[in-house]
Structure 1
Amino acid sequence: MTLLPRIRLKTVIIRRSRTQTIASVSSRLKAFSRCIGLGLLTLFLITWVFPTQAQYPPIPLTELTQTQFLSREQGIGNKQQGDLNSVQENDNALTQLEQGKALYSAGRFWQAITVWQQTMQAYQDRGDRIHYALSLSYLSLAYQELGQWQEAEQAITQSLNLVANLLKPTRNHQRLLAQLLNTQASLHYAQGQMEAALETWKQAEQAYQEAGDQTGVFGSQINQAQVLQALGLYRRSQITLERVKTQLQTQPDSLLKAAGLRSLGVALQVVGNLEESQQVLQQSLAITQGFDAIADQSATLFSLGNTARAQQDFEDAIAYYQQAASTATTPLTQVEAQLNQLSLLIETQNWTDAQTLVPQIQAELSNLPLNRAAVYAQVNFAESLMKMGSHVETLHATSGSQSVGAGLTDNVTQETANLTKPALPREQGIVSQSPPNFTGAKAQLQTIAQLLARAIQQARQLNDKRSESYALGQLGHLYMQTQQWLEAQRLTEEALSLAQGIQATEITYRWQWQLSQILQYQGNLTGAIAANRDAVYTLQSLRSDLMAINPDVQFSFRETVEPIYRNLVELLLSNQPTPEQLQQGRETIESLRLAELENFFREACWQVQRQTIDQIDPQASVIYPIILPNHFAVIVSLPGKPLRYFQTELAQTQIDSTIEQLLQALNPAWSNKERLRLSQQLYDWLIRPIETELRENEIKTLVFVLDGALRNLPMAALYDGQQYLIENYNIALSLGLQLIEPRSLYPKQLKTLTAGLSEARDGFPALPAVELEVQSIAAQIPSTILLNQQFTPQTLQEQIEANPFPVVHLATHGQFSSKAENTFLLTWNGRIKVKDLDQLLQVRQRQDTNPIELLVLSACQTATGDKRAALGLAGLAVRSGARSTLATLWSVNDESTAQLMVEFYRQLTQSQVSKAQALRQAQLTLLRQSNYQHPFYWAPFVLVGNWL
């Protein structure tokens, strides 16, 4: 059995005021629930369902199942009265309780509240505190769904108070307590109170343990893992999930085990363990096939599709979605699988198959019951049609639709009527981030408007502000497509008001961003900046949840979040920005870098402290290049000076093309003339306008906070026409001044743990000069060496735990990628993935001693063809916990690397030499040698973090 709603969403799911949705599975629940207790209530991780494609972070929430201990035969209630009327009244109340659960499971939360309020009153009148408390718990869940947090809090608090003095040390009472605690934890989680949620789920786990309910224990542990992930405690989360997996494997095969494995698979997918997620889900599928449980097979196939999609295995994902749809036992689950399939076909621009699927989905939508999931399905479908744009052939109006605005309030009726009459899109000015323009397809617009209008109507019938907000916001987006700005603004503001009213910040940021775009195209720059800034602030307030989203598929960071930051920077920097606007622009760029790292790890675990450049280094300048759609912008921070700003009018395509050509030209096989021309072009854009100011302020170090494709480019190789940049300045890279903890490395501190591989391992070639490199370093400074067989994760960790090494030098193959799972370092017996690096290198931090001052990574490279691969280097630098990281952007000559490293350490032994200065001198040593003077040999060495 499954409780996983399965609409995939393209929008980001980062949230503080979260609610959960339970799919309509009442028929399956009725058949299966008699054999389970309240333990199952936490097992299934309920998924957010949004009216756009592809989100799948699991959310822990109580499942409303019928439970044995509620029966009169077990002695709970007013059976002792012996009165036939009382028994009949109790039967009626129990029936109403079940009716409310059916309504809740169907997504009709307001009706469920009405029924449960009546049930609660009946139990209160008879003095049946147990069922009264249970009704209150259910009410709290329904209030959470509708964003009525105060009512939800009051209901669960009253419920817990009722049972506080009644509980007896029996298993049934412990199960009841566990359910109530589960509901309370869900409320904490929805409101972003993660520490409280964690503690409450621990209490629920204990209650399930005392009740002898192992299923409930599993569910509570999975829920705790999700909270630990939200708190940035990745390691503890992983350990918890591994423990659940081990315990589940010991259980005999059953549908309950299959459901637990499915929930675990979803959780593993969310935290980025995609291969393990696939394995667990395949095991779940095999069990369901053995029991011939079709509905459960469909749910697991759907989850497998999500994992395959996260792995960018789109062909398998499509196949899984098709199987999930074909085995679905309800129209809703079939449509949800088809909607996911459609969104993926659109993402991969498979227009032919997408067009074939559209009429199938249209035919099914009219068969859906009235509930939240049906509303979301219609909005989801409408958004997919908007994305298809001109690629969609003429569509027929949705089956069964009446007039577009039927049953809606007057303003929506008139607006949708206006849209679906002659209001076709105009030829110019369509928002750049929007889908392709419709080309005279009036029927397409009419279909989309009808879908959204009906969704609004149904949401209002359900009194569901959340789904109403989504439908109204999407209708506003449709008006953006047709450039009907006033109508778009009014609908967007109404959607925003609804989202703010229920504290649904994960929706709020979206409509703030949409409102900013609308105001921008109306020429209201002040209003656009304010709305855009609000959207950024909302995202920052949700940063503790960023980790829960897969970066490239689920979260779609570059499509849904990054543009919000970039657009604010562009607005702030337009029309001769003021010093205050420049400061805001710089802070926005730094916030984007931080959000990008959190998205990379799916964690929010950095406590940042802002510092001015004067406090860090009075002879350093921080340079923030920003690649915007129509110009190359640069903000420069000079000690004791106002921020400096200049820009070059260039199309982003031209900037990216120049960077890509220069990266290729850094190969020694290319023409030196062409390389120098391209290098000088970048220099002119980035450095030339401030050359004089850098000299006048006696700047010695340039610190770059790089943007976009620039992060794969070595700044040392920029050329002014006569000299390389490294010949005049020390150079360092930073993630922003927020993450810097300034501290110098003194010669007397130098003591190195040096580990390396000189032999070929795991498909990587031998590095014969590594042995010479590590021996040469040891000849200059005290060193402990781990070479080849001695270099394992275990020995590395043991040495770091035993000795306070300020420098850790790893001469081995490694790879930096925009995906955390593809960023690793090679050891003798395996790979150290970036997410595991903190476990090895931050031991001393956990023991309240000094962290590593310098981590040196020799012979690493960026992932081939990955334009954002340098993000992996930044992530590794942060994950290591080291104050500074020295690494290479590509694999370079083995012998030249050894020479550079030896000279780098020799420089560090000199007094008053910073890390950046030591690296510069080592690079210049190679530059001055005829056989290594090409930038290929010395330019890729970069210092990330603290440069002092």
Structure 2
Amino acid sequence: MAFQIKKRLWLYISISILSLCLAVAIAPAKASLQVPTNSAVNVSAFTSQTTNWLEQGRNLYNSGRFAEAVTAWQTAVQKYHGQGDRINEALSLSYLSLAQQELNQWEAARQSIELSVKILQTAKPSADAIIWGQILNAQANLELRIGKAETALEIWQQAQKYYDQAGDKMGSLGSQINQAQALQSLGFYRRSKQQLQTLMQKLAVMPDSEIKVSGLRSLGLALHAIGDAKSQEVLEQSLATANKITAKTQLSSILSSLGKVASDSLDPEAALNYFEDAQTAATNPNEALQAHLARFKLLVDYDKLEYAIPLAPQLRQQLSELPPSHSSLNAAINFVATLNRLENPDRVLPSKDLAQLMADTVKSAQKIQDETAEAYALHEWAQLFRRAKQWSQAQELAQKSLNIARQLQADDLIAQSAWLLGKLYKQQNNRQEAITAYTEAVKSLKALRGDMAGVNPDVQFSFRESVEPVYRELVSLLLDEEPTQDALMEARELIESLQIAELDNFFREACLDKAQQIDQVDPTATVIYPIILSDRLGIIFSKAGQPLRYYVTQKSQAEIEQTLNNFLIALNPVSDSTVREQLSRQIYDWLIRPAEVDGAFQGTQTLVFVLDGRLRNVPMAALYDGDRYLIEKYAVALSPGLQLMATRSLSSNQIDAIVGGISQSRAGFTALPAVESEVKQISQTVPSSMLLNQKFTSLALADRVKSGSANIVHLATHGQFSSRLEDTFLLAWDGRVDVKELSELLKNRSGNSSKAIELLVLSACDTATGDDRAVLGLAGLAVKSGARSTIATLWPVKDRAAQMLMTRFYDQLRLPKITKAEALRQAQINLIRKTDFREPFFWSAFVLVGNWL
């Protein structure tokens, strides 16, 4: 369960002069957005009464009581206005805006910060640079949270100038960390990473202080948000510095941050130790609760209920003792949400106790005017009734949650509540109402794409738990019985949207916004959408100018996936060829045979697969009809179903290639002796520039791409595709290049689409073994790099076979009027019929993703 995904990104907000802290709003259970005490510079301007209101507002804000903080700061604004103290009035308004943002009061927050800036512009005497820096920081915070990252970036740059002018080094550093966050939101990950690395160097030479501790923690979380492994190192530096200067008040939050990093790195033992230490180090009840809750959730997530069960009553007691606040309410919601994911929560705590906790939470949320918490509490309460099969009560609560979500225009809330309503309607056999509710949920998930993907994994919806099932369950409803053409078109669009959502989830940022029906690209292509549902395999066939066709095989998901796994194992050349052919034929009968018998492929030259789930790892070219492989009958391409840019045929007088590779052992990877021959032969076959071994560095590749006019980039080196962004990389001589760096590097042509790379070839890469979402790395790179087509391998192939296939591919590509898919097909057929590499293992690993023309 994640909370307030939309507009609740962590930020580094400097709103004081002498001290800074990280404004972390990753999840309401950890609502630790701080408003530090004001500096001595401003204190002289306060009356005792207004000082009290400002201080009271800060205390309320820090404890998560945002509505009360709003009231306190509104009073401070009125007092300062009455005294004619324009500068402190403006400062109070900026504080007020931050509290209103936490309450999703976006229009009120905008009015407060705009008035704050307007007052400063006309204030006599002029405000200090430091005040300008603070207020601009608050303004940029709002802009980023409402999705205007470019504006936020510009404002933070202005804020930095003011901090520099005032000599406030930490204010300047904080603004720069915020700029890195804005760059991430805009998709400029390379620039963001460079900026963060520069900040690391600046912080490293600063004297030890609490400010440095906060800065390092902020930086560690920023690096974690972009998947940089150095995040742990930086957080450890923060912890070491805090221990060195005895900064006890910061220890718990740093240890909790380290626990989050360890948990996301799939190191539960280390995470558990960090959370236990964070709980011990806590200096206030809220910190102790957050650490306790994180520890409990980890144990439940890893199915260690024997250790989680004793913690549950303690947590229940802690939750009941804390006064109502934004953070305490959301801690209660997170607690119940964690248990709601279990098959049987009653093993941990009786459901009636959990229901009572949510009922109390709803009342408390209403009392402190926290509508977001109220809606989430209603949602979890409804889940408890649904589990008990008390449909009417569950439906009533889910509808209330959805109504509040609509009022707040909170797409994350709408998605979850509408999905729950859809499931309730479905369980009561109300198909049409279920489709309506599911459709609303999907619409909100689409609206959330950028927000959902761009944030730290700690706040992301768990894709497999909370996004993918919504799409699949709606597709299943649409394809029930005899689907109409409208239903088929909607199901097809949903599968393509799911592909987009998966890529967004993989990259933690939005990929492409526009989708173009790929069956309109080539009238000689048939597009095939296999859809794995829980109880069947549905397949939609799409060809330009013809109605959609639909075939279904009644097989359980488990049986389908077992067959696919067995086939992948049987592809090993030492396996029994009879078993391999039998399994291959079975899959052929599911995916191809029904349409083939119906004559659906008449006039088809290329089959384009938009593959689903485990099918992505299966080489379609190797499917066997009992006589011939599929590749011997049709060219084969894969597509994520996304926009395909117009392409040009690559005739011999147009080809301009960059050919790079590493043949020697490097960075612990084995040597690839045939790579040298492959690189040299291709360089002789087509006009190209060559980067071999020491010359193949990431910088050299970037320079060639940026300065040249190459339309093909061919890289023969170790690499891996994985469903984990951190484990997807390519090896250059100077080290690993992660998938985001590579995609930015390949796009580095001033956004000129006419100079886009026509073809990216990765001839020695691997997909992570046993990872049925690993091909996302390949598909994602194909989309993000701007390359119109990508050729890569699904598993490591003998480098001699790769060299032979690639050489033949380029020989074919030089021929007039040949498509990339056909050139690859001819190269694969050549290996089948004219070499010792006739087994599918050697040639079917090569797949073409993207535009096949």
TM-score (normalised: structure 2): 0.96
Which structure 2 residues correspond to residues 145-224 of structure 1 after superposition, within 5 A? 145-166=102-123, 168=125, 173-224=128-179
1:778 aligns to what?
683
Name the amino acid aligned to 1:559.
E
Contact 1:231 1:605 in 2 (8 A): no
1:81 aligns to what?
none
CA deviation after TM superposition for structure 1 residue 184, in Å? 2.0
2:56 aligns to what?
99
Q: Which of the numbers 856, 861, 884 marks the counterpart of 2:766?
A: 861
1:48 aligns to what?
26
Contact 2:475 2:491 in 1 (8 A): yes
Deviations 1:342-375 (A, max 9, x none): 1111111111111122222223223322211111
CA deviation after TM superposition for structure 1 residue 669, in Å? 1.3
Q: Which of the numbers 841, 845, 863 marks the counterpart of 2:746?
A: 841
Name the amino acid aligned to 2:27.
V
Contact 2:661 2:716 in 1 (8 A): yes
Confirm whether residue 761 of structure 1 aligns to residue 681 of structure 2.
no
Contact 1:852 1:882 in 2 (8 A): yes
Tell me the SS of whatever aligns to 1:382: helix
1:401 aligns to what?
none
1:573 aligns to what?
479
Q: Quick one: distance in 2 between partners of 1:780 and 1:338?
A: 64
Contact 1:623 1:702 in 2 (8 A): yes
Deviations 1:655-680 (A, max 9, x none): 11111000000001111111111111
Tell me the SS of whatever aligns to 1:738: coil
Tell me the SS of whatever aligns to 1:498: helix
Q: Quick one: distance in 2 between partners of 1:478 and 1:22?
A: 37
Name the amino acid aligned to 2:413.
I
CA deviation after TM superposition for structure 1 residue 826, in Å? 1.9
Contact 1:499 1:508 in 2 (8 A): yes
Q: Quick one: distance in 2 between partners of 1:165 and 1:696?
A: 73
Tell me the SS of whatever aligns to 2:836: coil
Q: Quick one: distance in 1 between partners of 2:762 and 2:399?
A: 51
CA deviation after TM superposition for structure 1 residue 798, in Å? 3.0
1:127 aligns to what?
84
Tell me the SS of whatever aligns to 1:931: coil
Name the amino acid aligned to 1:200.
I
1:542 aligns to what?
448
Name the amino acid aligned to 2:64.
G
CA deviation after TM superposition for structure 1 residue 848, in Å? 6.5
Q: Quick one: distance in 2 between partners of 1:705 and 1:869?
A: 15
1:38 aligns to what?
17
CA deviation after TM superposition for structure 1 residue 392, in Å? 5.2
Gap runs ≥5 in structure 2? none
CA deviation after TM superposition for structure 1 residue 505, in Å? 2.3
Judge which range, 657-666 or 876-885, deviates more: 876-885
Confirm whether residue 685 of structure 1 aligns to residue 590 of structure 2.
yes
2:216 aligns to what?
261
Name the amino acid aligned to 1:71.
V
Confirm whether residue 528 of structure 1 aligns to residue 434 of structure 2.
yes
Q: Quick one: distance in 2 between partners of 1:527 and 1:150?
A: 33
Q: Quick one: distance in 2 between partners of 1:857 and 1:534?
A: 40
Tell me the SS of whatever aligns to 1:743: coil
Relative to 1, partners in 2 of residues 1:828 and 1:66: Cα closer, same or farther, differing over 3 Å? closer
Relative to 1, partners in 2 of residues 1:164 and 1:795: Cα closer, same or farther, differing over 3 Å? closer
Which structure 2 residues correspond to residues 794-813 of structure 1 after superposition, within 5 A? 794-813=699-718
Q: Quick one: distance in 2 between partners of 1:13 and 1:394?
A: 27
Contact 1:470 1:495 in 2 (8 A): yes
CA deviation after TM superposition for structure 1 residue 384, in Å? 2.4
Name the amino acid aligned to 1:99.
Q
Q: Let me know the Cα RMSD of the aligned residues.
A: 2.4
Name the amino acid aligned to 1:320.
Y
Confirm whether residue 871 of structure 1 aligns to residue 779 of structure 2.
no
Confirm whether residue 641 of structure 1 aligns to residue 558 of structure 2.
no
Q: Quick one: distance in 2 between partners of 1:659 and 1:39?
A: 61
Which structure 2 residues correspond to residues 51-62 of structure 1 after superposition, within 5 A? none
Gap runs ≥5 in structure 1? 1-9, 24-32, 78-89, 396-443
Contact 1:133 1:163 in 2 (8 A): yes
Q: Quick one: distance in 2 between partners of 1:566 and 1:121?
A: 53
Q: Quick one: distance in 1 between partners of 2:405 and 2:695?
A: 57
Contact 1:476 1:491 in 2 (8 A): yes
Q: Which of the numbers 54, 68, 71 marks the counterpart of 1:111?
A: 68
Deviations 1:145-165 (A, max 9, x none): 222222222222222222211
Contact 2:12 2:218 in 1 (8 A): no
Relative to 1, partners in 2 of residues 1:611 and 1:747: Cα closer, same or farther, differing over 3 Å? farther
1:15 aligns to what?
6
2:315 aligns to what?
361
Q: Which of the numbers 95, 98, 120 marks the counterpart of 1:141?
A: 98
Contact 1:12 1:560 in 2 (8 A): no
Percentage of pairs with the same residue: 46
Q: Which of the numbers 542, 545, 559 marks the counterpart of 2:465?
A: 559
CA deviation after TM superposition for structure 1 residue 389, in Å? 4.7
Relative to 1, partners in 2 of residues 1:673 and 1:271: Cα closer, same or farther, differing over 3 Å? same
Name the amino acid aligned to 2:333.
V
Contact 2:452 2:460 in 1 (8 A): no
1:71 aligns to what?
43
CA deviation after TM superposition for structure 1 residue 873, in Å? 1.3
Which structure 2 residues correspond to residues 372-771 of structure 1 after superposition, within 5 A? 372-390=326-344, 393=347, 395=349, 444-549=350-455, 555-614=461-520, 616-693=521-598, 697-771=602-676
CA deviation after TM superposition for structure 1 residue 227, in Å? 1.8
Which structure 2 residues correspond to residues 294-373 of structure 1 after superposition, within 5 A? 294-373=248-327
Q: Quick one: distance in 2 between partners of 1:805 and 1:12?
A: 46
Contact 1:100 1:116 in 2 (8 A): yes
Contact 2:34 2:61 in 1 (8 A): no
Q: Which of the numbers 240, 244, 250 marks the counterpart of 1:290?
A: 244
1:239 aligns to what?
194
Deviations 1:387-407 (A, max 9, x none): 345365464xxxxxxxxxxxx
Relative to 1, partners in 2 of residues 1:713 and 1:323: Cα closer, same or farther, differing over 3 Å? same
Name the amino acid aligned to 1:454.
D
Count of paired positions? 853
Relative to 1, partners in 2 of residues 1:14 and 1:385: Cα closer, same or farther, differing over 3 Å? closer
Deviations 1:86-105 (A, max 9, x none): xxxx3112212211221222
CA deviation after TM superposition for structure 1 residue 22, in Å? 12
Contact 2:657 2:712 in 1 (8 A): yes
Tell me the SS of whatever aligns to 1:635: strand
Relative to 1, partners in 2 of residues 1:699 and 1:737: Cα closer, same or farther, differing over 3 Å? farther
Tell me the SS of whatever aligns to 1:748: coil
Deviations 1:724-751 (A, max 9, x none): 1111000001111424444332232123
Q: Quick one: distance in 2 between partners of 1:137 and 1:124?
A: 14
1:279 aligns to what?
233
Deviations 1:269-324 (A, max 9, x none): 11111x21000000000011012222211111100000111111111011100110
Contact 2:453 2:460 in 1 (8 A): no
Q: Quick one: distance in 2 between partners of 1:716 and 1:866?
A: 20
CA deviation after TM superposition for structure 1 residue 576, in Å? 1.8
Confirm whether residue 918 of structure 1 aligns to residue 840 of structure 2.
no
CA deviation after TM superposition for structure 1 residue 215, in Å? 1.4
Deviations 1:96-135 (A, max 9, x none): 2211221222222222222333333233233232333233
Contact 1:900 1:922 in 2 (8 A): yes
Tell me the SS of whatever aligns to 1:747: coil
Tell me the SS of whatever aligns to 2:719: strand
CA deviation after TM superposition for structure 1 residue 692, in Å? 3.9
Judge which range, 192-201 or 484-493, deviates more: 192-201
Q: Quick one: distance in 2 between partners of 1:22 and 1:846?
A: 30
Q: Quick one: distance in 1 between partners of 2:779 and 2:572?
A: 24
Q: Quick one: distance in 2 between partners of 1:515 and 1:391?
A: 21
Contact 2:729 2:738 in 1 (8 A): yes
Contact 1:752 1:808 in 2 (8 A): yes
CA deviation after TM superposition for structure 1 residue 838, in Å? 2.9
Relative to 1, partners in 2 of residues 1:607 and 1:496: Cα closer, same or farther, differing over 3 Å? closer
